[in-house]
């Protein structure tokens, strides 16, 4: 099982997997953080495809092509904004991860890389977000062949240390 999960520190736009995951917002029209970085590298065709999707609710995800990215596909997942923990944030974050995994099953995507959804501008506590991400992914991999491999791409050092500790303790 654990040879199917990897943690790396880096920039998700440079990772060559079947699909990279974007931490998008409900408009799917780009923003700051990892979303801005993905759109900058993918080019304006990604923006055009996203426009046609007409948004995505919080807790869900949508598949597009990757255009100029090394990865052929992008899965745009919308995590929740942290509002103190009493607005269903945990279930919505789990649902965002699960929606991505369901798309990987549907399209038989062998490898996925996730950023740390909602832990930037959206303010979700990093430790708690990592726990939700890891549990959702492990439960899924336990029961499914697809994706064969999941990479957690940590951009900031705090998340990288949290994920390393969490996966070494399993
Ligand atoms: P959100 O609005 O979901 O919080 P952000 O993009 O602000 O989205 O942050 C989500 C996570 O993405 C943060 O942990 C941030 O450090 C990380 N991040 C920012 N740029 C990149 C990048 N190029 N590659 C991977 N992760 C990134």
Give, for all 170 residues of the chain, the pLDDT tens digit. 579 999 999 999 999 999 999 999 999 999 999 999 999 999 999 999 999 999 999 999 999 999 999 999 999 999 999 999 999 999 999 999 999 999 999 999 999 999 999 999 999 999 999 999 999 999 999 999 999 999 999 999 999 999 999 999 77
Give yes or no for residue 152 CB within 6 A of ligand 1: no
CB 93 within 8 A of CB 1: no
Give yes or no for residue 11 CB within 6 A of ligand 1: yes
CB 65 within 8 A of CB 9: no
Q: Which residues pair with 77 in a beta bridge?
A: 23, 61
Distance spanning both ends of the chain, measured CA to CA: 11
Measure Cα distances from 105 to 63, 70, 147, 158 in Å.
12, 21, 7, 30
3 is catalytic: no
Give yes or no for residue 163 CB within 6 A of ligand 1: no
User: What gap in Å lies between CA 76 and CA 79, rounded to an integer?
Assistant: 10
What is the 120 CA–ligand 1 centroid distance (Å)?
5
pLDDT given at position 2: 72
* 147 preceded by a cis bond (ω within 30 of 0): yes
On whether the 2-168 domain is CATH 3.40.50.2020, my answer is: no
Distance, CA of 56 to chain centre: 14
pLDDT given at position 1: 54
CB 122 within 8 A of CB 79: yes
Token pair for 164: 């390393």
- 5-9 vs 149-154, strand pairing mode: parallel
What is the 117 CA–ligand 1 centroid distance (Å)?
7
Angle at which helices 126-143 and 89-106 cross, to 10°: 40
The domain limits of the chain are: 2-168
User: What gap in Å lies between CA 79 and CA 96, rounded to an integer?
Assistant: 6
User: What gap in Å lies between CA 41 and CA 16, rounded to an integer?
Assistant: 13
3, 11, 35, 142: the catalytic one is 35
Give yes or no for residue 35 CB within 6 A of ligand 1: yes
């Amino acid at each position: 099982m654990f040879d199917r999960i990897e943690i790396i520190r880096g920039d998700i736009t440079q990772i060559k997997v079947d699909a990279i995951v974007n931490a998008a917002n409900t408009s799917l029209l780009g923003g700051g953080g990892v979303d801005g970085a993905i759109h900058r590298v993918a080019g304006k065709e990604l923006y055009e495809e996203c426009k046609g999707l007409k948004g995505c609710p919080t807790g869900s995800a949508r598949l597009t092509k990757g255009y100029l990215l090394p990865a052929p596909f992008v899965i745009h997942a919308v995590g929740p904004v942290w509002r103190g923990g009493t607005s269903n944030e945990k279930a919505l974050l789990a649902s965002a991860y699960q929606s991505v995994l369901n798309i990987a099953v549907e399209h038989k995507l062998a490898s996925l890389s996730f950023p740390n959804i909602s832990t930037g501008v959206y303010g979700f506590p990093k430790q708690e977000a990592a726990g939700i991400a890891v549990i959702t992914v492990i439960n899924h991999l336990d029961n499914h062949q697809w994706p064969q491999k999941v990479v957690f791409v940590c951009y900031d050092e705090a998340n990288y240390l949290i994920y390393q500790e969490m996966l070494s303790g399993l």
